[in-house]
Structure 1
Amino acid sequence: MEIKHNELSFQLMVEATPTALIVVNNYGKIAYLNNFSEKLFLYKKNELIGQDIGILIPQNKSSNHPAYIKEFFVNPKSRQMGENRELYALKKNGVTFPVEIGLNPLVTVDGTLVLAAIIDISDRKKADEQFRLVVESAPNAMIMVDNRGLIIMINKQTELLFGYSRDELIGQKMELLVPDRFKENHSNHRTSFYKKPTSRAMGAGRDLFALKKDGIEIPIEIGLNLIPKKDSQFVLASIIDITERKKNEEAFKEYTKSIEHKNQELEQFTYIASHDLSEPLNSIQGLISLIMDDEENNIDENLIVKLNFMDQSVTRMKELIKGLLDYARLGKNVESVEVDFNLLVKNVLSDLESSIKKHEANIIVENLPKIKAYELEIHLLFQNLISNAIKYRNSTIPPKIHISAKHVNNLWQFAIRDNGIGIPLDQKDKIFLLFQRLHARNEYSGVGIGLAHCKKIVELHNGNIWADSEVGKGSIFYFTLAVK
């Protein structure tokens, strides 16, 4: 009774399994199959029991099958059938489909049998084929590697990039494409990746290189993506040749160095030329003053007017030269310190006290931050912007100036708002250039350097400066300073 009970239990378990199960004897004859096998192969049980298992194998795959059965029964053990081979089965209606088959020996009183568990992998095959097509159509070289570092799939772009054919790469170690000086550590990097596998860029912060078949090294970028498959994990590497980008980056670096060098030369020239020009101008102005003092009673009024005009012109020239000298010195030998902007603006307003009182300016300062900056340059920045807000005032009402700041992302954004004459829309992009004047000298004094100073100071702090304005209603000057 125990044997019958065991046989009954076995039959119940086999029938309840949602997998096609077929029992085959050592002659290759079907001894038993479950209900799921009927659904899969479209046969009734009585149509298959006693038949050769070859009835379920496509004709072009069946010639070697008797030898495989004989081989199994020589050494019967649980294993996967047809490892590294594609297996196909045949339905009653003549349709073939891909399968996976697990073989398990069954020892019975009638001898050893084999239990074949058959899984239809058509859907998986379709998914694999779609995946293969996606990889094949990718614009970058794509290489799939297993956890041993063996290449199991590549696309056409890989062949074009590295110069190897598909057959030359499949089954090879990934190190084939790695320059000799990096091979030693490559396997360690792979082991490290599998310990904590995540989709990411490979070699962040390092320059990566690959080796082509012809021995040429190329700079590359690699993206790693984990691909779960069956009971294993694979890595799909997307490889981009960045040779042209590297060339462009190097060219840009050289160009930037050249520009920086020329800027340094220009600033040095500006400094020297401005300094050398100051001396003769001082002499001219001194001579004018001497003539007017010594010959005061002997000079007619027409000549006095001309001398005064010359003196004013020389004064403007000296102011211009001083502005150029100050501009050239900006950012030279400076060190950033923590600046209390409330105290700094208070000092600026103290410097401008006479102008503020004269024009009855109302200045409101909100609470400002403490950040690291170049203190003298920032002092000049606020002095220029506040002076301009007072200078370019509306003649009918006293100047009203509002100073504020707010934190935006990783920057401090400052705003200086006034109720002055405003800036025409077509001039907003020009006001920060050197020597740009929007008004005649007899209307507003100045040499057109102040806002250029402001722009350079802000850029020294990795920031930007811009203005919003409406003619007749006032302006808002914004600038940002990086948080250091």
Structure 2
Amino acid sequence: MKTAEKDNKPSFYKDAVFEMNGEERGLDILVKPFRQHNLDNEVTFVVTFIEKEPKIQDAVEVEKVTLTSRTKIYIQELEEELKKTKEELQTSLEEIETSNEELQAANEELLASNEELQSTNEELQSVNEEINTVNAENVQKMDDLAALNADMNNLLESIDIGTIFLDSSLRIRKFTPAIKKHFSLINSDIGRPIDNFTTNFGTNRGRKGLVDRCKKVIETGKKLERHIISKEGRHYLQRISPFINSQQDIEGIVITFVDVETLHKAQEKLIASEKRFKTFYEKDPVMHFTVDPNTSIIKEVNEKAVEKLEYSSKDELIGRPIFELYEDEAQLKAVRLNKIFLENGELNNVEQEMLTKTGKKVPVILNSTVELDEEDQVVNNRYTCVDISELKEAQERLKKKKVALERANKDLEQFVSICSHDLQEPLSTIKFGSDILGKIYGKKLDEKAREYITYIDKASDRLSNQIKALLDHSRIGQNSERSLVNTKEMVEVVKYDLGKRVKDTNAKIHVGNLPKIMAYEVELRLLFQNLISNALKYKSDERDPEIRISAYPEDKYWVFSIMDNGIGITEEDQKNIFTIFNRARTKNKYEGTGVGLAHAEKIVILHEGSIWVDSQPGVGSTFYFKLKTEE
């Protein structure tokens, strides 16, 4: 391997003999070197062992290699490698020395260049110092002049007032940007006479007028002012003032144009507001009084006060104490109210009676506030009086109607109670008589007579149930108050009460999310019971009953729906379905008195709502009812 590495070519060793398991064997050995092309220049070897039969007869015994002889060979190889390495190091050293000499020469050149640059820099610095010395005074003077000029320009440019400077010949010397913006002047106009531009300044801009006014200011030394309007319709205050120098001589004119558009619009708005307020004050359908806070003397009134109190003009009311408009008893009340007013600074919705010129009483709702000045001092008391004569009359009429209605309801309740009691007694007699006839004389009567007795029994029972139902209907809503009701829990209770019928009909009842509302609990439970019971009663023979109950909010109401898949209701029967004792026409006979839906309607009306039905015969019905919620 050493030989292969040294010669950089394959090395071949033939007829090597070795012993393995007591048996001698022979082989040839081939070593191939491979150099890696990288920075380390590493060498790898491929060693190939070619096994063959040993040729002992041709073999020549050689002297055994001892440790000493091997060491000599190894030392010799190391010496050769060291010699080679020394030669390479000597070559590298020579190259480094050559590079060092080159770098030293370059460094000397750089030092020479640096010395030259340093010399040049010193010369430039000397020249610069001379220039700074020469220009120091000029720079100082220029700075002072620039600062002064900048201050003047900043002042003129920052001011939002259009200004034109004229000389004694009325030629333009300077103008501010505000003039350029509003009146379309350009820098090249400097030096031109002002009379060339008088047509640019507003609608009141006579050429002769402006020039004459400028000349007058130069002659008198007094400034002149007037309002003008620009071409764009903006309002300005034109002020012409004399330009006075340090010797107090007039050297020209200063014309300023102050934009007063905002002020003008504010004045217009104020005038319009005052006009609207006066119109509102005068035409307002309520009475207004402005009263002196110290003397209670009326200072101003509107036309409605004059009209309502039956006076012919404002002069009859202005100057009179406000208390003279009250009768004696009302005056005492007004004095007490005035103390409260002084403490709180206002009165709200106080009932009072005022006297007209003819002595007629006018009931009013009185409101009063104070009017303050800029220093929060009270300058006026303002009274607003709303005539409630019609409201009082309406209240009186409603009170009478309420008394009459309460009396009628009481009479009706008494009538229903008496009727139910008085009718039940003869019905009981009829029922008892028909039972006696059936039991004692039943065998003696023919089939037709017994059928008539059965008719009497059924009619008596039906009339008794109807009387009881009528009495229950009249008592709905009596002696009850609203409370918070969980309608979902209530429906579950109704389902439990109707459990036997639900099981017998194999019905399915689906209940959605239902709200908690303020309602009459007993009546609302009866409402759900009647509608769900009807859905179970009027089921279709072709399918099992299926009922869906849901609700959704609508403004201040909750709308409930109870949908079934029963026999449905014809459009003709829907018109009178909620009438008491009215029953829809059906193919089959169903038990009942015909008051269930009448009960439902009355309960819904009790909750300030409404009820209606949407139905299709053979498909099913959906009853909707809307209940008003209370906060």
The normalised TM-score by structure 2 is 0.51
User: Which structure carries more relative contact order (alpha carbon 8 Å, separation 6+)?
Assistant: 1
C-alpha distance in 2 between matches for 1:414 and 1:264: 33
Change beyond 3 A, Cα 1:135–1:437: same
- What is the rounded CA distance, in whole Å, between the counterparts of 1:223 and 1:135 in structure 2? 15
Find out whether 1:477 has 2:620 as its counterpart: no
Q: CA deviation at 1:132?
A: 2.4
Whether the aligned pair in 2 keeps the contact of 1:211 and 1:218 (CA below 8 Å) is: yes
- Is 2:302 the counterpart of 1:155? yes
Aligned to 1:203: 348
Distance (whole Å) between structure 1 residues aligned to residue 496 and residue 429 of structure 2: 34
Indicate the structure with greater helix content.
Answer: 2
Residue 441 of structure 1 and its aligned partner are, at CA, apart by: 9.3
Q: What corresponds to 2:333 in structure 1? A: 182
One-letter amino acid of the counterpart of residue 128, structure 1: E
How far apart in 1 are the matches of 2:383 and 2:409? 44
Partners of 1:420 and 1:475 within 8 A in 2: no
* Unaligned ranges ≥5, structure 2: 1-158, 162-203, 205-209, 221-225, 228-262
Count how many residue pairs are aligned between Structure 1 and Structure 2: 376
| Aligned-pair CA distance for 1:267 | 1.5
In the alignment, the residues of structure 1 paired with residue 570 and residue 344 of structure 2 have an alpha-carbon distance, to the nearest angstrom, of 60
Closer, same or farther: CA 291–421 of 1 in aligned 2, 3 Å: same
Partner of 2:92 in structure 1?
Answer: none
Give the residue type in structure 1 aligned to 2:310: G
Residues 422 and 470, structure 1, Cα contact 8 Å, conserved in 2: yes
The aligned counterpart of 1:136 is 282
Matched, 1:466 2:617: no
Q: CA deviation at 1:390?
A: 2.0
1:145–1:421 Cα change, 3 Å: farther
Q: CA deviation at 1:265?
A: 0.8
Letter in 2 for 1:160: E
Bigger shift: residues 186-195 or 429-438: 186-195
Task: Please report how far the alpha carbon of residue 157 of structure 1 lies from its aligned counterpart in structure 2 after TM superposition.
Answer: 1.9
Contact 2:604-2:611 within 8 A present in 1 as well: no
Q: Does the residue aligned with 2:525 lie in a helix, a strand or coil? A: helix
Pairwise CA distance, 1:153: 2.7
Aligned residue identity for 2:365: E
Q: CA deviation at 1:347?
A: 3.1
The CA deviation string for residues 111-154 of structure 1, in whole angstroms up to 9 with x for no partner, is: xxxxxxxx999855565345323433334333344655553332
Instruction: Compute the displacement of 1:420 (Å).
Output: 3.4
Whether 1:448 and 2:594 are equivalent positions in the alignment is yes
Q: CA deviation at 1:381?
A: 1.9
1:169 aligns with 2:317: yes
1:379 matched to 2:525: yes
Aligned to 2:444: 298
3-state SS of paired residue (2:430): helix
For 1:455 and 1:157, locate their aligned partners in 2 and report how far apart those are by CA, in whole Å. Answer: 48
Paired amino acid for 2:336: N
Q: Post-superposition shift, 1:255?
A: 0.7
Cα distance in 1 between the residues matched to 2:478 and 2:324? 52
Q: Quick one: which of 360, 364, 371 aligns to 1:216? A: 360
The alpha-carbon deviation at position 323 of structure 1 amounts to: 0.3
Q: Between the two proteins, what is the percent identity of the paired residues?
A: 31
Counterpart amino acid of residue 361 in structure 2: E
Normalised by the size of structure 1, how large is the TM-score? 0.64
User: What is the identity, as a one-letter code, of the residue corresponding to 2:335?
Assistant: E
Distance (Å, rounded) in 2 between the aligned partners of 1:166 and 1:413:
57
Instruction: Summarize the alignment of residues 72-471 of structure 1 with structure 2, pairs less than 5 Å apart.
Output: 123=268, 124=270, 127-145=273-291, 150-164=297-311, 165-178=313-326, 179-191=330-342, 194=345, 203-204=348-349, 206-222=350-366, 237-334=383-480, 339-369=485-515, 373-406=519-552, 412-424=558-570, 428=574, 430-439=576-585, 443-460=589-606, 462-471=607-616
Structure 1 residue 342 displacement after superposition:
3.9
* Residues 165-174 or 120-129, more deviating: 120-129
Q: Match for 1:252: what amino acid?
A: L
RMSD: 4.2
